[in-house]
């Protein structure tokens, strides 16, 4: 039966991906994410057959015991991994593809009182890291990685990494998310700051070269410009800035001339 096949696949998936999982029996007995998915299946069956009150009762029972709230109307694909699970919320019209991973505190929710499709659709092999929120009736493509604490409010293309509030695409054409890495993600705020520091250093260098003509500047500013070693500062900034990330982010500015 598909029911037992899916349970076996989910348990095997946890054993393969979670280094803390020692064997299938331990996963079955001690992993709340597994039980949240097991209980979702009868709840979803009842929901589709218009027994919605009983379906909601089962989903709330699962929430009480596992800390994972999955609306019985949500559609969840095969081999979904819910790691730890406490605080996860999955809305009614959410659709989750195959081989997705959801970490603690994730919300797949709506943005208002709209009827119809109001929750996100996740493609295959999507990883949503701890505390991330995906809000709205849009599609998150295949092989997408969403960083911890991010708030995603619009569609994400295939193979992207999204971080920040609101979420920004900081990397395209990712490798598969099977590495389960939530740490080594670019920081768009740091990229912005590094870019601005680089531009300031270049402007100060140009002003310094025009020092003789800037008689209207405050003498203290001229003195400060002469004191700073702009060349070494610029070299340091050039070494620190990841130009590849800048071009992927496609922030405003002429990065090709950096």
For the segment 171-200, the average pLDDT, to the nearest whole number, is: 67
Pick from 11, 4, 59, 2: nearest CA to 34: 11
More confident residue, 173 or 94: 94
Contacts of 37 (CB under 8 A, 6+ apart): 6, 7, 10, 70, 76, 80, 82
Among the ranges given (81-95, 116-130, 226-240), the one the predictor scored with the smallest mean pLDDT: 226-240
Sign of torsion, CA 84 86 87 89?
positive
Residue 111: what pLDDT? Answer: 81
DSSP state of 218: -
1 CB neighbour count, 10 Å cutoff: 6
More confident residue, 257 or 246: 246
Contacts of 197 (CB under 8 A, 6+ apart): 237
Average pLDDT across the chain, whole number: 80
pLDDT, tens digit (0-9, with 9 covering 90-100), for 147-165: 888 999 999 999 888 988 8
Report the distance separating Cα 51 and Cα 13, nearest Å: 31
For the segment 56-84, the average pLDDT, to the nearest whole number, is: 93
Residue 171: what pLDDT? Answer: 79
DSSP assignments along 175-188, one per residue: PPGGG---S----H
Q: pTM for the whole thing?
A: 0.68
CA separation (Å) from 177 to 80, 104, 126, 146?
Answer: 13, 17, 7, 10
With cut-offs at 50, 70 and 90, classify the pLDDT of residue 228. Answer: low
Residue 90 host element (H or E) = strand 89-90
């Amino acid at each position: 039966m598909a029911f037992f096949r899916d349970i076996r696949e989910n348990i095997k998936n946890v054993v393969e991906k979670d280094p803390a999982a020692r064997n299938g029996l331990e996963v079955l007995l001690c992993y709340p994410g597994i039980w949240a998915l097991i209980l979702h299946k009868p709840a979803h069956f009842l929901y589709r057959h218009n027994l919605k009150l009983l379906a909601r009762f089962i989903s709330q029972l699962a929430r009480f015991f596992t800390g994972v709230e999955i609306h019985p109307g949500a559609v969840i694909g095969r081999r979904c991994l819910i790691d730890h699970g406490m605080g996860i919320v999955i809305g009614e019209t959410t659709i989750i593809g195959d081989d997705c991973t959801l970490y603690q505190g994730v919300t797949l929710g709506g943005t208002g009182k709209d009827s119809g499709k109001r929750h996100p659709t996740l493609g295959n092999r999507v990883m949503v890291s701890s505390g991330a929120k995906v809000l709205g009736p849009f599609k998150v493509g295949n092989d997408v990685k969403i960083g911890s604490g991010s708030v995603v409010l619009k569609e994400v293309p295939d193979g992207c990494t999204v971080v920040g509030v609101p979420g920004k695409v900081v990397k395209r054409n990712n490798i598969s998310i099977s590495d389960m890495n939530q740490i080594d993600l670019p920081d768009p705020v740091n990229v912005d700051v590094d870019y601005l520091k680089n531009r300031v250093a270049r402007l100060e260098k140009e002003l310094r070269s025009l020092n003789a003509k800037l008689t209207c500047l405050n003498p203290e500013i001229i003195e400060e410009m002469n004191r700073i070693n702009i060349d070494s500062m610029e070299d340091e900034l050039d070494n620190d800035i990841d130009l590849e990330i800048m071009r992927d982010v496609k922030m405003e500015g002429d990065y090709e001339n950096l």
